[in-house]
Amino acid sequence: MEAFLVSITTISVAEIGDRTQLLSLVLAARYRRPWPIIAGILCATLANHALAGVVGVWFGSLLKPRTLEVVVGISMIVMAIWTLKPDQLDENTGATGAMGAFLATLTSFFIAEIGDKTQIATLALAAAYPSLLAVVAGTTAGMMLANVPVVFLGKAFASRLPLKAIHYGAALLFIVLGLIFLVRAYRGS
C-alpha cells in the first residue's frame, strides 16, 4: 500500500505544469473530445510506466538494498531540482493529420512521456518498491488525477492554478522522499 500511495502522490503533484499536462490541454482544445483523449492518456501512461517500471525493477535487482536506497534517494532529490524548472510544450509536440483523438493522444502522449520526470520517477519508485503493480497503478492513477481535470476544464482550470507554489510543493515532496530513502540507507534497513 505504501508503494501505491507514494507513487500516486508523487506523480500527481509532479505532473502539474509538466509538458504532458500541457499536451493534454492542447489535445483537449484541438479535438474537444474528452473521453477518447482520456482513454489515450490512460493507455499511453500504462504502457510507458509499465516499461519504466520493468526497467526500474531490473535496475533495482542489480544493486544491494542499501545502495539502491541511496540511488533512489539521490534521484528523488534530483527530481526536486528538475521540478523547479517548469516544462514548456514544443510546438511540434501536438498531433497533426487526420488521426482520431484517441490515436493522436496515445502516440503523442507516449512519446512526450519518454524521458519525462514522471517516467524517471516511476523507474526510481519501481526500483525501490517490491510491488511493480502497485507502483505502476499508483503512477498511472497520479497521471490521471493531474490530467483528467485539464482535459475537461481546459484553460479555465490551468490558468487558475498557482503553478509556482505547486512546483515548490512538488520539489519539497521529492526532497522529503529522497531524505526518507537516504535515512533508510544510513540506518541499513
Instruction: Residue count of the chain, please give it.
Output: 189
Res. 92 pLDDT band, cuts 50 70 90: very low
Q: What is the pLDDT of residue 157?
A: 57
Higher-confidence position of 79 and 115: 115
pLDDT in tens, 6-40: 999 999 988 887 778 878 888 887 787 899 999 99
**87 pLDDT higher than 50:** yes
pTM: 0.74
Q: Where along the chain do its domains lie?
A: 2-187
Q: CB neighbours of 157 closer than 8 A, spacing ≥ 6?
A: 149, 150
